[in-house]
Structure 1
Amino acid sequence: MRLIPVAYLGSYLMSVLGNSVAAVALPLIVLQTTGSALSAGAVAAATAVPAVLAGLFMGVVIDRVNRRTSSVVTDLVSAGAVAALPVVDHVTGLSLGWFVLLGAIGAFGDVPGMTAREALLPAIARHGDLSVERLVGAREALGAIALLVGPAAAGLLMALLDGSTVLWITAVTSLLAALTTLLVPHAVGRVEKGSAVSSSWAQVREGWHTLLASRFLVVLTGLTLVSVFVLGAFQGLVLPVYFTAEDQPGRLGLVLTALAAGLLLGSGAYVAAGPRVRRRTWLLTGLLGSVVGFGVMAALGSWWLVLVGAFVVGVFSGLFSSLLGVLTVERVPDALRGRITGTQNALVTAVGPLAIVVAAVLVEYVGLREAAMLVAAVWVLAALAAAPGRWLELPVTPAPALQEDQHAQR
């Protein structure tokens, strides 16, 4: 494999690994510092809002600026925001306000960084002489590895190091991601000038119009959001409540490890056989297999059945998410890639907390097993709607040039 895709994949691994460590370590550090679970929730909510806004509006910048440069800068923003926490802790001591402020600053690096890296992928495949299927599958497999290693590493680091010192590790991973991206030639990130729209706000609207006017993009985005919603509800609330009630909280980690291992296996299968299998076959296999897995999980039988269900979900979600990644790369117009993927990433960021809130309400008012079944039913309905696969052949409807901007250019 050539240097360009290796550098890209290495940068992606470093970024996701750092985020997975921070996702476990940061809430624990907030709890240790403030002693309040409410404070941890406040930090999560305060950082989610700027993350969504950054995803919605920073796509315009990514469609204007060299995407390799955008990726490097956003990783440096993330590294700086995380590194500032242990510095502040050493100088003055951390408080809730510092967590919120630096978390909000870091949010302007996280989602835009993810978007910039995704927008860069087609050029990486082209210049690296690698098929999109192999590159996307390898990216998903590395993401699964990071999800396997990150939480375990976070737990070990929290046991060995004092409080905020752990965050130096996540800052270093973001810095390494930026430095690794610099190995990609600057010319690879060059942006194609394909939009006739001039103003930033008009470009935001152009991206939204293209996303909403295309049935293909609406279905693809909807499937992604439903998948994140269902997985988020199970991981963030249903399974923790179940294992706590069973007085087996330690087994939650095993189940999440099984899920990540399944993702790794499914992504690896797509890397090996992606181009040789019809996409409708991948779609049906991924959808129906994940329906079975969620059904087994939602039954909340013995803990090992939940573990098996999580593994099955992981395998077929790995196939499914790899296919959606390839479709996004191939079908999203390059001139709009930053805005459309930024919007999708912003929506994904918002859906995760929403899933936990909805699951909490269901558990409170209808019961744990009933809530699990209802959440799984959401995925069943989405899978049935998407299974015929006719949307795979639909074209992406381009956004017409906005009249006021055309007049402004004359």
Structure 2
Amino acid sequence: MRTSVLYLGSYFVSVLGNSIAAIALPLIVLQATGSAMSAGWVAAATAVPAVLAGLFMGVVIDRINRVTSSVVTDLVSAASVAALPIVDGLVGLEVGWFVLFGVIGSLGDVPGMTAREALLPRIARSSSLSTERLIGLRESLGAISLLIGPAVAGLLMTLFDGSTVLWITAGTSFLAALLTLGIPRSVGRTDDVPATAPLGAWREFVEGWQLLTRTRLVAMVTGLSLLSVMVLSAFQALILPVHFTLIDRPGLLGFVLTSIAAGLLVGSGLYVAFADRLARRTWLVMGLLVSSVGFAVIGLLPPTWLLFGAGFVLGLGSGLCGALLGLLTTSAVPERALGRVMGTQNALVTAAAPAAILLAAVVIEHVSLTAAAAGFVALWVVMSVVAVAGPVLRDLEPSEPESIDA
């Protein structure tokens, strides 16, 4: 039980730190440079290396102890953030420093997430928790982090100067590394995971890609996850902000995002409590149906009170099946290849968000806000129907992971 507590604590602190940084860092960039364009350049410059790191660092995660890789990536993230207030005190911060250390930090963020996810099967085996409950608890803690992170970031920015907030943010990554250090190294070993043959790094990367694309279950789960991130990102980052700006109520956006996080917490909590009471397909169908209703109502851009309710429903549906989607990948992929497959998934998810925001911007600019909202809702509903009606997700009960010839 101690191992699972350390694992969940590390995950919670790491996600909380990322949630704080997502709000605080753009504000600190604005304070330091006085330029909104600078904040945009920092975000854009860090996105590409984050995607590349996610794609290719999975091979490394599958080769070295996963406890070690998780600790190292957290320390990289901590150091990249801590360097900013040091530079500020020495020479002052300019946009180039934010880009430099943002790129360095991005090399730790996605691989760190991947290493922590790849650890989960062995964490479950070393504790009294089932894999279903452990993933459900992890998703619940992630929802709590997303719920309180923006509020904590706002409070910190009110109480302290930017450098102090950066030190606190770096401290969350450092604390996550310390908690992970408490996990026995034997839990993170990969050398006793059976492999079909010793492979070169490139062949291992190709094998991971083939496992993701040729294992039908994993491919479908990845598609659902990607589309979910794309639709949610488009609404959170552009469609809803434009809507609230047009009705002159921009401050209400935060309440909608809070309602989504609250629904996510309730949904994942229900999954933790009753995961073994219902079949996996039942959880999936319920989650996709409820989230589709939430997306559909939000897509209508209704009165604000209804948006709050729809946000909660959306989060509830995502919580009901979100942990299950992670579980399906874990159970369908050979443990020796989890780093490669999950690293590729996380890289695709990282790239999906800005791609969706760009697509939404083009549609809003050249067609209309209503068309953008309706289009993204239609994408999600169609994908949900295909997933539920197709043969791939009909039998989701535990089975042996698929393998391929590399």
Range of TM-score over shorter length: over 0.9
The match for 1:364 is 365
Question: Deviation at 1:195?
Answer: 4.5
Unaligned runs of 5+ in 1: 402-410
The match for 1:250 is 251
Cα separation, 2, equivalents of 1:390 and 1:278: 16
> Structure 1: which amino acid aligns with 2:24?
A
Alignment map for 1:279-358 (pairs within 5 Å): 279-358=280-359
Deviations 1:59-105 (A, max 9, x none): 01100101011111110010000111111111111111111110000
Alignment map for 1:377-392 (pairs within 5 Å): 377-388=378-389, 390-392=391-393
Cα separation, 2, equivalents of 1:271 and 1:289: 18
Question: Deviation at 1:397?
Answer: 4.4
Cα separation, 1, equivalents of 2:6 and 2:61: 20
Question: CA contact under 8 A between 2:218 and 2:328: conserved in structure 1?
Answer: no
The match for 2:151 is 152
Does residue 143 in structure 1 map to residue 142 in structure 2? Answer: yes
Alpha-carbon distance change, 389 to 262 in structure 1, aligned in 2, over 3 angstroms: farther
Question: Deviation at 1:396?
Answer: 5.5
Question: Deviation at 1:31?
Answer: 1.3
Question: CA contact under 8 A between 1:283 and 1:389: conserved in structure 2?
Answer: no
The match for 2:405 is 400
Does residue 229 in structure 1 map to residue 249 in structure 2? Answer: no
Question: Deviation at 1:343?
Answer: 0.2
Question: CA contact under 8 A between 1:115 and 1:341: conserved in structure 2?
Answer: yes
Cα separation, 2, equivalents of 1:90 and 1:98: 13
Cα separation, 2, equivalents of 1:330 and 1:213: 15
The match for 2:85 is 86
Q: 1:391 aligns to what SS in structure 2?
A: coil
Cα separation, 2, equivalents of 1:390 and 1:283: 14
Q: 1:387 aligns to what SS in structure 2?
A: helix
Question: Deviation at 1:308?
Answer: 0.8
Question: Deviation at 1:198?
Answer: 2.4
Cα separation, 2, equivalents of 1:389 and 1:8: 36
Question: Deviation at 1:344?
Answer: 0.2
Sequence identity of aligned pairs in percent?
62
> Structure 2: which amino acid aligns with 1:311?
F
Cα separation, 1, equivalents of 2:139 and 2:161: 32
Does residue 190 in structure 1 map to residue 195 in structure 2? Answer: no
Q: 1:390 aligns to what SS in structure 2?
A: coil
> Structure 2: which amino acid aligns with 1:310?
G
Cα separation, 2, equivalents of 1:323 and 1:388: 18
Does residue 38 in structure 1 map to residue 37 in structure 2? Answer: yes
The match for 1:406 is none
Question: Deviation at 1:340?
Answer: 0.2
Question: Deviation at 1:129?
Answer: 2.1
* TM-score, normalisation: structure 1: 0.96
Q: Aligned-pair RMSD on alpha carbons?
A: 1.2
Cα separation, 1, equivalents of 2:70 and 2:96: 28
Question: Deviation at 1:193?
Answer: 4.1
Question: CA contact under 8 A between 1:79 and 1:174: conserved in structure 2?
Answer: yes
Deviations 1:147-179 (A, max 9, x none): 011101111111111123211111000000000
Alpha-carbon distance change, 195 to 339 in structure 1, aligned in 2, over 3 angstroms: farther
Cα separation, 2, equivalents of 1:37 and 1:94: 15
> Structure 2: which amino acid aligns with 1:328?
T
Give the number of equivalent residue pairs: 400
Question: Deviation at 1:363?
Answer: 1.1
Deviations 1:162-205 (A, max 9, x none): 12321111100000000001111110111114141421111111
Cα separation, 1, equivalents of 2:280 and 2:349: 24
> Structure 1: which amino acid aligns with 2:291?
S
Deviations 1:251-276 (A, max 9, x none): 11111100000000000000001111
Question: CA contact under 8 A between 1:52 and 1:349: conserved in structure 2?
Answer: yes
Question: Deviation at 1:389?
Answer: 5.7
Cα separation, 2, equivalents of 1:344 and 1:142: 21
Unaligned runs of 5+ in 2: none
Q: 1:250 aligns to what SS in structure 2?
A: helix
The match for 1:122 is 121
The match for 1:51 is 50
Alpha-carbon distance change, 51 to 114 in structure 1, aligned in 2, over 3 angstroms: same
Question: CA contact under 8 A between 2:299 and 2:377: conserved in structure 1?
Answer: yes
Deviations 1:293-348 (A, max 9, x none): 00110111111111111100000001121110111221111010000000000000
**4+ residue runs over 4 A deviation:** 394-397
Alpha-carbon distance change, 195 to 55 in structure 1, aligned in 2, over 3 angstroms: farther
Question: CA contact under 8 A between 2:334 and 2:402: conserved in structure 1?
Answer: no
The match for 2:12 is 13
Cα separation, 2, equivalents of 1:389 and 1:257: 33
Cα separation, 2, equivalents of 1:335 and 1:237: 39
Question: CA contact under 8 A between 1:217 and 1:396: conserved in structure 2?
Answer: no
Cα separation, 2, equivalents of 1:183 and 1:275: 30
The match for 2:69 is 70
Question: Deviation at 1:399?
Answer: 2.6
Question: Deviation at 1:221?
Answer: 0.5
Deviations 1:117-143 (A, max 9, x none): 000000000001210111011000000
